[in-house]
Structure 1
Amino acid sequence: MDSTAEDGEGTGRRLRELRRARGLKQQDLASDDVSVSYVSLIESGKRTPSAAVVALLAERLGCTPGYLLTGQDDTRTRELELKAAFADLSLHNGAHGEALQAFSEVLASAPVLPDALVRRVRLGQALALERLGRLEAAVQAFTLLYEDPSCVAGSAEWSLLATALCRCHHALGDQVLSVETGERALRRLDRLGLDATDDHLQLGAALVDCYRTRGDLARARLLADRLTRIADDRGGRTAQRDIYWNAALVARSQGRTDEALALAERARALLAESDHVRHHALLRQVHGTLLLDAAPADPERAHRLLEHAHAQLVEVGTALEQATAQTALASACLRLERAGDAQVHAAKALGLLGEEPRAEAALARAVLARAQFDAGEDAQGEKTLRTAAQHLRELPPARSSAAAWRRIADIWQQRGQAAEAAAAYQQALADAGLPGLVSEPAHP
């Protein structure tokens, strides 16, 4: 009679689960010594395989006999844990493609791994997808983790996932869903009555950015002020940095440039104590653009910061982040009267952004058009500017598109083309939520 250290039911269940996870059929496990019908009987728990049969099946499945018998495979688990750790390191260092591949390879062995490790790897996979710009896939992966019953509301993992979903919907241009996601999560935290943690504060910081992008600057400032008080009182340095960073962006959007610079400097001082290369680069980029807006502007220092930021983002940033850095460099070059360099940077930004209409591409085209005008290429400049306007018309109203319309309008005005400037200014106001009066028929 066949015998093992465990009853056949558990062994059969693991055999079936692992076979399906490997994409194999029962006949793929069959051999001269093990028939298809015998494999079926084992999987149904009606037969308990001998040690020799277990060894044969384990070899075909790529696991140890111990796993099939007991569900434990410490050696294999340690190997996969090490691989997951290297994937985490790759993600931290900006090797997003390498990290995604490693996470995916670990997940191929999910049936033999502890649940906690599987969730950690799935989270790493989702983060890698986001960094690679595969946002739809990232949203799907984050949502599966967020809606899993084992994800406890208010926990660090729950807050991280809520923040990631808020951030991804924002990046996809769905400002309604990004705000709804952030607000719903914050309301749930308020109902739970938990003390604010860094994870909760970072969720709030993401929502501040969503409000800002949507053009709801009053609400963005109110939330930023509230979070700043909490962070200063009991927040960690990471949370303080993120809140100061987003508060600086809100201040810049409201024209409070000096305050924005002060907040950006505070964020940079906090970031200097960390080794997160991507965050360093993004904050340098924000600081550089603030210096271009300051009165008086400091284009030389801004250009140095933006060059440094771009060099780092080439290694660790997403395509969108790299494109934004190129557009900012192009703007700095315009201030330095280097129209040729500005054209090169703006063209590279457009290459990274692709052909789909988006506000970032319209802004890059506006900067490119200005550089073309400065270089005496008037016909090409007008063509570029009109292309930017055409793409903006295909986008839903948002603060980001309003900012691009404003840039286009300013350029038309500088060119002395009043009708085009007026139309662009009107569109900027409409996209910012300030449409003109509806014309009424004259009274007879």
Structure 2
Amino acid sequence: MTGQDLVGQRIKTVRRQRGLSQAQLAHPELSDSYVSLIESGKRTPTPAVLELLADKLDCSLTYLVNGVTAEQMQEIELNLSYARLAMENGEVVEGRTRYAELLADGGLAGLPQLRQDAEYGLALATEACGDLDGAITLLSTLRQNESATMTPERHIAIAVSLSRCYREQGNLVQAVNVVEQILGGAVRPAWTDDLMKLGGQLLAAYVERGDLLRARQFSSELLAAAELLGTPQALTLAHWGAAIVAVESGYGEEGVPHVERAIAIQSEYEDPRRLARLRHDYAQVMLIVRPMEASTWRDVLLKVETEFSESSANPMGKLRCAMNLARTELLLAHPERAAERIQVVCDMLDGMPEALHAEARLVFGQALAELGRREQALGELRGVAESLERLPVTRHTAHSWLTAAQVLERVDEPARSVDAYQRALACVGL
């Protein structure tokens, strides 16, 4: 049944409830035959006619158009606001629940734009809860079913989220395909801030799959596009992407000016949560580039930890910050502190992606090995190996196998260490 048919049915239902004939409803502005055609779905009333009929029927225009009363519309908009607020405050489970309840009660059936907002919000909340499979299903369904009514901005936003989820899941083929469907044509669309976000996801996928030559070429294109756009968001994304490409290519110091430029640009604008996330990523990069300055990066991460707490960052952001603090303590030869921090992380991993489980248990195994608790370290490393065997082959899994090999060597397990080294090499095609 079309929206036109539904409008006609609502007019007919309310007219009968009011005890009016078609002629009485029509007189004197309209003809009764015109009202009959509207009610049968054979004519689409203009906005002016709809407003007139709503006034004569003593009902809200919202009800005739969408099938909800003004009071119901107010409640729906209020519940959507609560769901958005929960997400902004980092209460991702609450946000997910509220979006799911909104979609389940059927009140959004006649409100396609609000329903689309709720479906997209539910997908983002599902991702933030660590359920990548669920988020991918929701985003793919939304993309397929709502593409005809979707704004270009929403279409790009869904592609950004979908590519990110695929990359975090380890499905790098799909992470690239989603973006190249938009950016990979013979003629590149004119760059905008939204398309720069999409480009950032493509760059991250290139890096993760080890296609560093293409990543460097595309990073140069993004930098040139950002300079032309001149917007803070575009410049931050492009410089951050250039920094990551430099670090992953083995030219860490080359990436430092890009990191510092991204931080400087973002610091000029009042978005504390975004700046806190960028500071966290900055410290993570600098731990790789300049590990000898670990005490400095620990101070940065401690500040970020406080900022995350005050700005209600999502759980995955907090977990990653805690893991990097544990790594910092290991670099500073404080395995006891590292073990304490990572134990807290391990207790919070329920429902999180398996890659995050493997990452946390690997850090815990390192800390236990440094403390001389060999059997416990081996137990954690066995769990890491089981997770890595189930995960897709990426640069990230290669690095995890390499770290596991080094820890196994540390606890005097040469055979298993060699096996882990061989798996790391296999992950990069060697």
TM-score above 0.5, yes or no: yes
- Where does residue 386 of structure 2 map in the other structure? 390
Q: Residue 49 of structure 1 aligns to which amino acid in structure 2?
A: R
The secondary structure found in structure 2 opposite 1:309 is helix
- Shift in CA distance, 9/157, structure 1 to aligned 2, threshold 3 Å: closer
Deviation at 1:342, TM superposition (A): 0.5
Are 2:368 and 1:379 aligned? no
Are 2:183 and 1:186 aligned? yes
Deviation at 1:354, TM superposition (A): 4.1
What does 1:272-421 correspond to in 2, within 5 Å?
A: 272-295=267-290, 297-313=292-308, 316-354=312-350, 358-415=354-411, 417-421=413-417
1:110 to 108, 111, 117: 108
- Shift in CA distance, 233/337, structure 1 to aligned 2, threshold 3 Å: same
- Shift in CA distance, 296/382, structure 1 to aligned 2, threshold 3 Å: closer
Question: Deviations along 1:118-147, whole A, 9 cap, x unmatched?
Answer: 333332232222222233332233223323
Deviation at 1:361, TM superposition (A): 2.8
Deviation at 1:416, TM superposition (A): 5.7
- Shift in CA distance, 97/296, structure 1 to aligned 2, threshold 3 Å: closer
1:264 to 228, 239, 259: 259
For structure 2, the residue ranges without an aligned partner over 5 or more in a row are: 21-57
- Shift in CA distance, 418/132, structure 1 to aligned 2, threshold 3 Å: closer
The secondary structure found in structure 2 opposite 1:71 is helix
2:142 to 141, 145, 157: 145
Are 2:80 and 1:84 aligned? yes
Aligned 8 A contact 1:132 1:319 in 2: yes
- Shift in CA distance, 403/151, structure 1 to aligned 2, threshold 3 Å: farther
2:16 to 34, 42, 49: 49
How many pairs align?
384
- With 277-286 and 367-376 compared, the bigger mean Cα shift is at 277-286
Q: Give the whole-Å Cα distance in 1 for the aligned partners of 2:183 and 2:135.
A: 22
Q: Residue 130 of structure 1 aligns to which amino acid in structure 2?
A: E
Aligned 8 A contact 1:67 1:112 in 2: no
Q: Give the whole-Å Cα distance in 1 for the aligned partners of 2:346 and 2:92.
A: 22
What does 1:216-295 correspond to in 2, within 5 Å?
A: 216-295=211-290
2:121 to 124, 136, 147: 124
- With 246-255 and 355-364 compared, the bigger mean Cα shift is at 355-364
- Where does residue 65 of structure 2 map in the other structure? 71
Q: Give the whole-Å Cα distance in 2 for the aligned partners of 1:111 and 1:248.
A: 46
Aligned 8 A contact 2:90 2:315 in 1: no
Aligned 8 A contact 2:408 2:416 in 1: yes
Deviation at 1:160, TM superposition (A): 0.9
Q: Give the whole-Å Cα distance in 1 for the aligned partners of 2:131 and 2:351.
A: 16
Deviation at 1:334, TM superposition (A): 0.9
- Shift in CA distance, 139/391, structure 1 to aligned 2, threshold 3 Å: closer
- Could you state the TM-score of these two structures normalised by the residue count of structure 1? 0.76
> Which structure ranks higher in relative contact order (CA pairs < 8 Å, sequence separation ≥ 6)?
2
Q: Give the whole-Å Cα distance in 1 for the aligned partners of 2:345 and 2:88.
A: 24
Aligned 8 A contact 2:89 2:313 in 1: no
Deviation at 1:104, TM superposition (A): 4.5
Q: Residue 255 of structure 1 aligns to which amino acid in structure 2?
A: G
1:177 to 167, 171, 174: 174
Aligned 8 A contact 1:327 1:345 in 2: yes
- Shift in CA distance, 379/69, structure 1 to aligned 2, threshold 3 Å: closer
Question: Deviations along 1:66-99, whole A, 9 cap, x unmatched?
Answer: 3697336455435543543454344333233343
- Where does residue 166 of structure 1 map in the other structure? 163
The secondary structure found in structure 1 opposite 2:16 is coil
Q: Residue 296 of structure 2 aligns to which amino acid in structure 1?
A: R
Q: Give the whole-Å Cα distance in 2 for the aligned partners of 1:89 and 1:162.
A: 23
Deviation at 1:156, TM superposition (A): 1.6
Deviation at 1:417, TM superposition (A): 4.9
The secondary structure found in structure 1 opposite 2:362 is helix
Q: Give the whole-Å Cα distance in 2 for the aligned partners of 1:117 and 1:165.
A: 20
For structure 1, the residue ranges without an aligned partner over 5 or more in a row are: 1-7, 16-41, 54-63, 435-444
The secondary structure found in structure 2 opposite 1:194 is coil
Aligned 8 A contact 1:323 1:348 in 2: no
